[in-house]
Amino acid sequence: MTTITSTTLADGRELLYFDADGAPQRVPTSDPRTLDPRPDTPQLRRDPLTGDWITVASARQGRAHLPPAEFDPLAPQTPSNPSEIPDDYEVAVFENRSPAFGPALGDLSVMTGVERSTVASGRCEVVCFSADRTGSFATQTPQRARTIIDAWAHRTEALSALQGVEQVFVFENRGVEIGVTLHHPHGQIYAYPYVTPRTQQLLTQARQHHGDLQGEILQRELAGPRMVAETDHWAAYVPFAARWPIELHVQPKRRIPDLAATRDTERDDLAVLSLRLLRALDALYDGPTPYIAAWHQAPVREDRDLVRLTWQITSPRRGTDRLKYLAGSEAAMGAWVGDIVPEAGAQRLRDALARVDADPATRIGEQAHA
């Protein structure tokens, strides 16, 4: 069992340490900094043309942007680096200092009229994968990946219980091409006060289908040409209508709504598979591939039987030195044009995965049992 230790930072934000099974009980160091008060909760504005909620969070303009390594805000604190985390750590999770949602909690206000606004209640957290200053989820050991998965599941359950939270989103952005502002290996968690547009679209299709839409898709993919990897508990495939040059969907074979519902055996399996897949992305072009690794989870309160847990990994990289940019059709009209045939993309990923599995330097299975 992962050991969890909770403490608070100097401005009252929560900080949690996650230590692997067998680690000694942690006694956290108090945060010695003097910090400014937390910024006001951002504003939510509803787009009257689409119904989408837009967060206006001006305080985020001042957040750290690619600071030098000696001033890494996610590294353990030193006298010369007053970072966010007082102690050395394995995995750490804390409330974001410049959140898009929160710190206020509560249900969305009922409003009328064309211009509707309210506070962007909810919560935003930072998940630090390692005390090391460089890397990503893909560079972690299987044991560390397992601890991170435990942290994701714990936070999904805890945030889902907060007042007014309607959906929990766990994700990692990797690479400056994606817009990463810190090189330290980390991800984020958003606890939204509404169900996101992407999930609303999925729910519309699921209701019209009158069945387990995602389950039927998974069964078709299991025996099809777009399957990339399969384990006892998980399946990874390129979707039939992939938008991005690199796109993977990873699903548990069992029908579950979110990370909190995963079993220990499923987490053990995922810890190895996730590293294999992400390292295969790097093997495509012999170098780090920028990506967004996003956990799509069911809404907290309703329609949990209509949405299956899915890990969606996407990358704009379409060549050794080429990226796909969301230009006119995609950005303005939401009408996508795919650059790579999904079946060909799946074959490229299978080939890359085979290279990863064959190379002693990147082979995950042996590392998992070392």
CA dist., res. 29 & res. 224, Å (int): 53
| Nearest alpha carbon to residue 218 among 244, 250, 266, 261 | 250
pLDDT by 10-residue block (mean), the chain, 370 residues:
95 97 86 95 95 91 76 95 96 96 90 90 98 94 97 98 98 92 94 97 95 96 96 98 97 98 98 97 92 98 96 95 91 93 97 94 57
Q: Which of 154, 183, 184, 186 is catalytic?
A: 186
* The residue type at 97: R
Question: Identical fold at 3-195 and 198-368?
Answer: yes
- What pLDDT score does 132 carry? 95
- What pLDDT score does 366 carry? 45
- What pLDDT score does 367 carry? 45
- What pLDDT score does 223 carry? 87
CA dist., res. 297 & res. 186, Å (int): 20
Q: Is 186 a catalytic residue?
A: yes
* CA dihedral of residues 17, 20, 25, 31 (deg, nearest 10): -20
DSSP 118-132: EE--SEEEEEE--SS
- What pLDDT score does 179 carry? 86
- What pLDDT score does 365 carry? 57
Q: Could you tell me the residue ranges of all domains in the chain?
A: 3-195, 198-368
- Both tokens of 206, joined, read 């699921």
- What pLDDT score does 211 carry? 87
Distance of CA 276 to the CA centre of its chain: 17
- What pLDDT score does 370 carry? 33
Q: Could you give the strand order of the β-sheet that contains 53-56, starting from the edge strand earlier in sequence?
A: 53-56, 43-46, 116-119
- What pLDDT score does 61 carry? 75
CA dist., res. 105 & res. 302, Å (int): 19
The H or E element containing residue 189 is strand 186-192
CA dist., res. 234 & res. 141, Å (int): 19
CATH architecture of 3-195: 2-Layer Sandwich (3.30)
* pTM (2 d.p.): 0.95
Question: What is the end-to-end Cα distance of the chain in Å, rounded?
Answer: 19
- Both tokens of 27, joined, read 């006694």
- What pLDDT score does 108 carry? 86
- What pLDDT score does 368 carry? 44
* The residue type at 326: L
Q: CATH 3.90.550.10: does it fit domain 198-368?
A: no
- What pLDDT score does 369 carry? 35
